[in-house]
């Protein structure tokens, strides 16, 4: 079985720069956490949530794999710190605590407000999925996810878009700029994973990784250009397409990097 490969690159106006099979629906692993962050940010900015309210790391929401909170001594964090953990290291336990706070229904409504019909976050993170659970954590199309990335960036830059206020967009973009996983589309930019919030190229991204999934969405602005992008590679269980997925992601990233300088 081959690789199912989709991508979409949009300019600031939302015009397609290039795309491939961009309407195809894929499982997207942790990409859907972006919708959760957008909902939390909007509630902070309109006063419904206190950014410093303490969130408790409930044992019933514990899950392994990505994240730092499971390794920290403190079992309580301010709300905004939990959001930073999700944005920076895709923290699973923090994700589940935030979902418990606002509910999946509100996250789905935020995805719809951002223009999505197929893309969304469908469940909390689980170590094991049963027949009673959602089939996958999140799904998305490259075209919808690139548009979400574009709206976040344009709104944060003072533009008017549907689905997210400028104040909330600036909060979300600030969180996502701390993302440390620059291994996919962002790799050819050769940024410091631990310190890339400023400089001639400003890039934020959110990745999603699972056994047969590599996904990346984000926005990048250089000295003379800005694009939003999403790229998704999926394949059947039982085959190894990781190297192919990385090659495709890096190839797209190299093209984007050449536009920025």
Nearest to 19 by CA among 9, 4, 32, 34: 9
User: What's the CA gap between 226 and 202, in Å, rounded?
Assistant: 9
Average pLDDT, the chain: 96
User: Rounded to two decimals, what is the model's pTM?
Assistant: 0.97
First to last CA, the chain: 37
pLDDT score recorded for residue 261: 65
Q: What are phi and psi of 220, to 5 degrees?
A: -140, 135
Query: Angle at Cα 179 formed by Cα 22 and Cα 43, nearest 5°?
Result: 85
Q: What are phi and psi of 168, to 5 degrees?
A: -65, -40
User: What's the CA gap between 98 and 54, in Å, rounded?
Assistant: 11
Q: Which residues pair with 77 in a beta bridge?
A: 55
Q: What is the pLDDT of residues 20-31, one digit of tens each?
A: 999 999 999 999
Per-domain residue ranges of the chain: 4-260
Contact 136, 122 (CB under 8 A): yes
pLDDT score recorded for residue 2: 87
In this prediction, residue 68 has a pLDDT band, given cuts at 50, 70 and 90, of: very high
Nearest to 140 by CA among 34, 236, 243: 34
C-alpha to C-alpha distances, 33 to 40, 135, 152, 184, 259, nearest whole angstrom: 11, 16, 14, 17, 28
Beta 213-221 vs 226-234: how paired, if at all? antiparallel
pLDDT score recorded for residue 64: 86
CATH number belonging to domain 4-260: 3.40.710.10
At 141, is the secondary structure helix, strand, or coil? coil
Q: What is the pLDDT of residues 171-199, one digit of tens each?
A: 999 999 999 999 999 999 999 999 999 88
């Amino acid at each position: 079985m081959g690789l199912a490969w989709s991508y979409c690159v949009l300019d600031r106006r939302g015009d397609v720069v290039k795309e491939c099979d961009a309407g195809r629906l894929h499982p997207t692993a942790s990409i859907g956490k972006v919708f959760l962050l957008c909902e939390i940010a909007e509630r902070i900015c309109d006063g419904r949530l206190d950014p410093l309210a303490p969130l408790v790391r409930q044992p019933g929401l514990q899950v392994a794999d990505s994240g730092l909170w499971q390794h920290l001594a403190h079992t309580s964090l301010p709300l905004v710190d939990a959001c930073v953990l999700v944005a920076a290291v895709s923290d699973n336990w923090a994700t589940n605590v935030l979902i418990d706070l606002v509910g999946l229904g509100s996250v789905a409504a935020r995805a719809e407000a951002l223009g999505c019909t197929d893309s969304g976050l469908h469940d909390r993170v689980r170590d094991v999925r049963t027949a009673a659970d959602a089939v996958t954590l999140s799904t998305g199309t490259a075209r919808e996810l690139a548009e979400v990335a574009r709206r976040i960036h344009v709104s944060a830059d003072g533009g008017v878009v549907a689905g997210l206020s400028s104040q909330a967009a600036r909060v979300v973009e600030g969180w996502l700029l701390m993302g440390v996983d620059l291994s996919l589309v962002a790799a050819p930019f050769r940024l410091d994973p631990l310190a890339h919030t400023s400089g001639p190229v400003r890039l934020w991204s959110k990745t999603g990784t699972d056994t047969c999934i590599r996904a990346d969405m984000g926005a990048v602005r250089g000295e003379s250009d800005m694009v939003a992008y999403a790229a998704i590679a999926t394949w059947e269980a039982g085959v190894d397409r990781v190297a192919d997925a990385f090659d495709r992601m890096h190839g797209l990233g190299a093209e984007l990097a050449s536009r920025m300088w």
